[in-house]
Chain A
Amino acid sequence: MSAVQETASDAPAVEAVPKRAMTLGTGTSLVVLALLIAAPLFVKNFVIFQMTMLLVYGLAVLALNILTGGSGQFSLGQSAFYAVGAYTSAILMEHFGMNYALTLPVAGLICFVFGFLFGQPALRLSGVYLALATFALATAMPQLLKLGYFEYWTGGVQGLVVTKPDAPFGLPISQDMWLYYFTLVITIAIYIFSVNLLKSRSGRAFMAIRDNEIAASAMGIDVALYKTLAFGVSAGITGVAGGLGAIAVQFVAPDGYTITLAISLFLGMVVGGVGWLPGSIIGSAFIIFVPNIAEGISKGLSGAVFGVILFLVIFLVPHGARQVAMVAQHMLGKLKKR
């Protein structure tokens, strides 16, 4: 027992990531951006839909990355915030006829408050215990959504069907393509916000807490405030992702937001590289496409194949996509010197 407690309280849960290493260089960012903008013009609507989901899950992974990579707190409860965001958007659109774009800030705000409040009791917990508390939140959420008391609003176990928005101003593009660009703009905005947040005073406070709580509070950082704030921001972004996801999928139901989703997001963060924001999109790609690949290899053993792939990734590149990027950068640097 004592050993467990030691590991839980002792070593920093997350390896320190230097601030500058959290983002991509300008050149690389522009190339990625150009790819993201141009790609939909050449592919089928179905692939555009997958790319939209890639951005949506990417946002959710990014949110978790701010929480874990930034402030060093674990969460297995992101699916709960995602669900709240998704349901907020769906209910506002279907029951109140609100414009889809306007529902997103509301979803984000509600989730921010929800996350901030949940952060209060979570303050007393750290490491694996915090992970367990958030796990409880994730397992409770689908049942809460089924509760008869809310059934009029949530549609109970049957869920809610959401109408997909058309492109505005009579633009001659498909619904899928419009939704993709809409999601892309929001994703970029949130990405820039997140990068700046982590570079700011608050971001430095997050990281100080992550590296050493006692030292941080000795430096005059309000540890309680910044920890809950990190939870709030993370929940808020997850909420926006949930709202976008609901619009893209056109349906919300309790079964869509189980603990499996929370674990997937966690997985995405680790594979993308904890604390490396651009890795979020790679982590998201992993959780969307790798199960499909695994299924393609063997239908009956898709879970096992997925496990093997995951094992290989963790074994070969324990720091995820960040490590790959670093190695690539290093090799490029060598080439330039020659």
Chain B
Amino acid sequence: MLSRPVFPAAAFAAAIITLASTTGAAFAQKKYDTGATDTEIKIGNIMPYSGPASAYGVIGKTEAAYFNKINAEGGINGRKITFISYDDGYSPPKAVEQARKLVESDEVLLIFNPLGTPSNTAIQKYMNARKVPQLFVATGATKWNDPKDFPWTMGWQPSYQSEARIYAKYLMKEAPNARISVLYQNDDFGKDYLKGLKDGLGAKASMIIAEESYETSEPTIDNHIVKLRASGADAFISITTPKFAAQAIKKLAEIEWRPLHIVSNVSASVGSVIKPAGFENSQGVLSAAYAKDGADPQWDNDPGMKKFFAFLEKYDPEANKLDGSVVYGYGAAQTMVKVLQLCGDNLTRENVMKQAASLKNFAPDTLLPGVSINTSPTDFAPIEQLQMMRFKGEKWDLFGDIISGELSN
């Protein structure tokens, strides 16, 4: 796929080449940027393997394992992936150092799935000035969908705001008279989410009668929950990370407060939240999902998940299939491989962004049935759909339609 055909004849030739290359003919013209050759594609990555968010380091490990699998199966169009993943300890200055090392010293083609809103914000300007793809960033902040100002940066998962809007829609429809209390983590994740919730409620934002924030350094959030209960609320939205979500579920049961309880998607994992909090305490809790849960028996016979489990067994036997981060890393890596396959023999940075921005109905193995990845030159938000679910017995019951949380503005 030549990017700029000059003459009509060249365009025609290009069309033929495109056709030919998809059928595997050898005469296709090859185009490369730094980081790609006939035998190799270099992909960079930045993960918090150490520091406060080190639990997410599993994502990087899963991705490395997935690329090993691809290499073992012959690579992408005959090219092996070299995956270089560095630790930034969740510190923005370190992320800048590592991004520069990847781009200038290791000379990667692109940086894939770097994790954390602060770290990605820190490197965004640099990546765009350098015109190196900062692809499928691992954060739910809303700002990554900005192709006009940052054409080299793209998100992957649904944004926190779009997820929060889905809950707002649900509440307005199912419980229009609810008195809502919100517990949120005092950081970019919590605040972005709260904004989405308020925007979603719109004129009815006054339904929120109490807000409490907590710091990740607090050992327990019990006092916040007692306070929220005292406000007289009958709905409780828990914008929390796994450890605190589990604490909240437990505390609610302990003080016998049974409001309509919504848990954010980041903490919907059966393995790391619901099980520790106790199944009996979690009955009726609501959330939304876009990916399948490795701990949920309803997916045991799902063809996509079977592939996923087979992959874990062979290439990543140490991984915990109950950990949502493993499912996440698999899906993200699969999307990356898809984009590189689409690039064919034109492995320029420009073409990578072009292909990433033209995914149509692509469904990685681990996404919910009906949820798919769609992008366009003006839409840099790959996953925008979620489905509501309610916890029942020992698993999540999905209900209702797949809802799009697309932001109108």
Contact = CB atoms under 8 A, between A and B. Distances in A.
Interface of A: 44-47, 49-50, 53, 139, 143, 146, 156-159, 161, 245, 249-251, 253-256, 258, 260-261, 288, 291, 295, 299-300, 302-303
B339 to A, nearest CB: 25
Contacts of A53: 93, 97
Nearest to B104: A46
A143 B49 contact: no
A145 B91 CA distance: 16
A256 B50 contact: no
Contacts of A156: 191
B49 A251 contact: no
Contact of A255 (B90, B97, B100, B215): B90
A299 B87 contact: yes
Contacts of A253: 92, 118, 121-122
Interface string B93-113: 100110011011100000000
Contacts of B90: 255
B317 to A, nearest CB: 15
A250 B100 contact: no
Indicate the member of B85, B89, B92, B101 with the most A CB atoms within 10 Å. Answer: B92
A251 B121 CA distance: 8
A303 B48 CA distance: 12
26 contacts: A46-B100, A46-B101, A53-B93, A143-B215, A157-B118, A158-B121, A159-B92, A159-B121, A161-B125, A250-B126, A251-B92, A251-B93, A251-B122, A253-B118, A253-B122, A255-B92, A256-B92, A256-B93, A260-B89, A260-B91, A291-B89, A295-B87, A299-B49, A299-B87, A302-B50, A302-B87
Given A251-B125, A260-B91, 7 more contacts: A44-B105, A53-B93, A158-B117, A251-B92, A255-B118, A256-B93, A302-B49
B186 A143 contact: yes
Interface string B244-287: 00000000000000000000000000000000000000000000
B96 A249 contact: yes
A157 B92 CA distance: 12
B125 A250 contact: yes
- A contact face: mostly helix, strand, loop, or mixed: helix
Given A46-B100, A156-B191, A146 B91 contact: no
Size category, B interface: 20 to 34
Contacts of A249: 92-93, 96, 122
Given A44-B105, A249-B122, A253-B121, A300 B49 contact: yes
Contacts of A254: 118
B38 interface: no
B409 interface: no
B370 interface: no
A250 B125 CA distance: 9
Contacts of A47: 105
A245 B104 CA distance: 20
Contacts of A299: 49, 85, 87
Contacts of B124: 161
Contacts of A291: 87, 89
- B contact face: mostly helix, strand, loop, or mixed: helix
B51 interface: yes
A146 B187 CA distance: 8
A145 B117 CA distance: 16
A280 B339 CA distance: 47
A291 B86 CA distance: 11
Indicate the member of A47, A255, A260, A303 with the most B CB atoms within 10 Å. Answer: A255
A159 B93 contact: no
A239 B49 CA distance: 29
A79 B125 CA distance: 25
B217 interface: yes
Indicate the member of A53, A261, A295, A302 with the most B CB atoms within 10 Å. Answer: A295
A49 B121 CA distance: 18
Contacts of A158: 117, 121, 188
Nearest to A250: B125
B186 A44 contact: no
Contact of A161 (B51, B104, B121): B121
Indicate the member of B85, B100, B103, B117 with the most A CB atoms within 10 Å. Answer: B100
Contacts of B86: 295
B101 to A, nearest CB: 6
A251 B123 CA distance: 8
Indicate the member of B52, B86, B187 with the most A CB atoms within 10 Å. Answer: B187
Interface string B38-56: 0000000000011110000
Contacts of B101: 46
Interface in B183-241: 186-188, 191, 215, 217
Contacts of B105: 44, 46-47
Contacts of A143: 186, 215
A250 B104 contact: no
A251 B118 CA distance: 9
Given A143-B186, A255-B92, A260-B51, A49 B97 contact: yes
Q: 3 closest Cβ contacts across the A-B interface?
A: A46-B104, A251-B122, A157-B188
Indicate the member of A50, A157, A302 with the most B CB atoms within 10 Å. Answer: A157
A185 B90 CA distance: 31
A49 B104 CA distance: 11
B96 to A, nearest CB: 5
Contacts of A295: 49, 86-87
Interface string B291-307: 00000000000000000
Contacts of B188: 157-158
Interface string B139-180: 000000000000000000000000000000000000000000
Contacts of B215: 143
Contacts of B51: 260
A256 B91 contact: yes
Contacts of B50: 302-303
Contacts of B125: 161, 250-251
A236 B89 CA distance: 27
Contacts of B191: 156-157
Contact of B186 (A146, A251, A288): A146
B60 to A, nearest CB: 8
